Amino acid sequence: MILLVDHEDSFSRNLEHLLAKFEPVVLQDRRSIPKSLIDKANLIVLSPGPGKPADYPETRQLVEKYLGQVPILGICLGFQLLLENEGGKIVRQSQVLHGVCTEIRTHTDSLTYRGLPSSIKVARYHSLQVDPDSLGLMPPSLRITAEDPERKVPLSFEDLERNLFGLQYHPESFLTEQGKRVIENIHHACLD
């Protein structure tokens, strides 16, 4: 079962439909997650959402409690929340990207992009980003796996020691090439 932690985002249901191609999904509000659901989860997915990571202390507590015990994937807001939790600094980006399709450079030697080309187009809906200068503060096991080559911004990561993954873009969007395959790769990595 995949536990999708909802941050009341309009994309949560679309994401649920994509994740359901791999396992049954339970969509649960971040403020009321019973331990019984976490015990059944093969993967916890942190949904996109409005605002900034600091607006979601319940999700941060969940991450701190289960990091390294249950695989976690953060998408958009979830990506930012995970990186901030790891020591990264989240800042306002110079250009707001809402509903914009951009090309990203992928690390094809990563599990996230295994079997995919070195460049794909993705859908972006964010005004915040991780500050690239803060990446040195993060654990050495955490590896950036894709960047925006034009803006030099990290757009995905994986930490295989702790089964921690993040995507700044929306894999469930029709604007994202290979979104289903990216989720499939992460899902396989979590089950292996």
CATH number of 2-191: 3.40.50.880
The catalytic residue among 16, 126, 158, 170 is: 170
pLDDT value, residue 99: 78
Q: The whole model's pTM is what?
A: 0.95
pLDDT value, residue 82: 97
Per-residue pLDDT tens digits for 63-106: 999 999 999 999 999 999 999 999 999 998 777 777 789 999 99
pLDDT value, residue 87: 92
pLDDT value, residue 111: 96
The catalytic residue among 86, 147, 172, 177 is: 172
Contacts of 177 (CB under 8 A, 6+ apart): 120, 121, 122
Active site residue 172: yes
- The DSSP bridge pattern shows strands 164-167 and 119-130 to be unpaired
pLDDT value, residue 3: 96
CA end-to-end span of the chain: 15
The catalytic residue among 7, 16, 76, 187 is: 76
Give DSSP secondary structure letters for 48-83: --SS-GGG-HHHHHHHHHHTTTS-EEEETHHHHHHH
pLDDT value, residue 13: 87
Residue numbers in the chain where pLDDT is lower than 70: none
pLDDT value, residue 95: 74
pLDDT value, residue 2: 96
- Cα-based distances in Å from 155 to 21, 55, 129, 185: 24, 21, 9, 16
